[in-house]
Amino acid sequence: MPKAIGLGGIFIKCENPKEMNAWYKNTLGLNVNEYGVSFEFTTSQNTKGYLQLSTFDKKSKYFGNDKQQAMLNFRVDNLEAFIPILKQQKVEILTELESFPYGKFIHIADIDGNRIELWEPVDAVFENDMSAKQPLD
């Protein structure tokens, strides 16, 4: 059965995303890219995966609700097969399925109305080009 298989990213709003990324680099010693901090990990199947801590301008509409200051992104193993299951469970699906070279995406709402991003990744893209990410706005 298709399901979420892990965390793909944590997205936060901030006053100045570039300054925040510099803070993560200079203060915590993390490797940053133009979208935030990328973390590489090994899955239980011994394959590489990537997690992104992304910084968004506090005025970004990407989270849907202006009051929502953070958004979770979950990795999904088969997004197209998962969508009918979500609909059957009466999950509010906020966006249509979108496909990019680095994966497929939809947005759903949890029971409190928080926007959540579901991502079926193409991790091989990140091995070749760690800068290939979804546009922020």
pLDDT digits (tens, 9 = 90+) for 33-87: 878 898 888 877 777 888 899 999 999 999 998 999 999 999 999 999 999 999 9
Give the pair of three-digit tokens for residue 97.
């399925």
Q: Which pLDDT score is estimated for 128?
A: 58
Is 42 a member of any domain? yes
Tell me the average pLDDT across 4-27: 93
Residue 92 has pLDDT above 50, yes or no: yes
Domain that holds residue 99: 4-128
52 part of a folded domain: yes
Token pair belonging to 116? 């959540």
In a domain, 119, yes or no: yes
Q: Do 51 and 38 contact (CB within 8 A), yes or no?
A: yes
Residue 124 lies in a domain: yes
Tell me, yes or no, whether 92 lies in a domain: yes
The answer to whether 65 and 115 have CB atoms below 8 angstroms apart is yes
Query: How many Cβ atoms are within 10 Å of 113's Cβ, its own excluded?
Result: 12
Average pLDDT, the chain: 88
Does residue 76 lie within any of the structural domains? yes
With a threshold of 0.75, does the pTM exceed it? Answer: yes
Domain presence at residue 137:
no
Average pLDDT for 90-97: 97
The type of residue at 22 is A
For 39, residues 6+ apart whose C-beta sits below 8 A from its C-beta are 50, 51, 52, 53
Whole-Å CA distances, 36 to 5, 30, 93:
22, 10, 26
Whether residue 22 is contained in a domain is answered as yes
What's the pLDDT score for residue 137? 38
Give the CATH number for residue 16.
3.10.180.10
pLDDT, position 131: 44
Straight-line distance from the first to the last Cα atom of the chain, in angstroms, rounded to the nearest whole number: 32
Q: Say how many domains are in the chain.
A: 1
